[in-house]
Amino acid sequence: MNMLIFQSNVINEQAPGSQAFFGYLGISFAMIFSNLGAAYGTAKSGVGISSMGVLKPEKIVRGIIPVVMAGILGIYGLVVAVLLIQKIDLNKPYSYYSGYSHFCSGLCCGLSSLVRFIYSRLQDIQLEL
């Protein structure tokens, strides 16, 4: 009888830390996807700089700008992750609203950085046609 009462109390309790899980997931998405986008952009820009150095060496300085922009987007993901992690203090009440808003903001930051370089690659493909 006591076991049944214990099980019913466990089911009705709120899972501790599940809202923080979504907050930390948003932080990791901001870091992961931003740095994936930065790495992809740096790789593609590096190939472009190499080919530009062979074909038009006088314009090689102009090719450095996409590499710098890719690095800036990676740093932007780091800044967003640091700002979000400062908001999570488990000693204070951390609501589901805060957890989901941190999840969505990290996802927004990360995916926007990732999609930026995928979209630029699609533009390069269209220019080649």
**Sole residue written with tokens 């590499």:** 67
Structure confidence by residue, pLDDT tens digits, 35-72: 998 898 888 888 888 888 888 888 888 778 888 888 89
Identify which of 45, 48, 50, 33 has the alpha carbon closest to the alpha carbon of residue 109: 33
**Sole residue written with tokens 């590096």:** 46
In this prediction the pTM is 0.74
> Is residue 127 within 8 Å of 49, Cβ to Cβ?
no
Structure confidence by residue, pLDDT tens digits, 78-107: 999 999 999 888 788 888 888 899 999 999
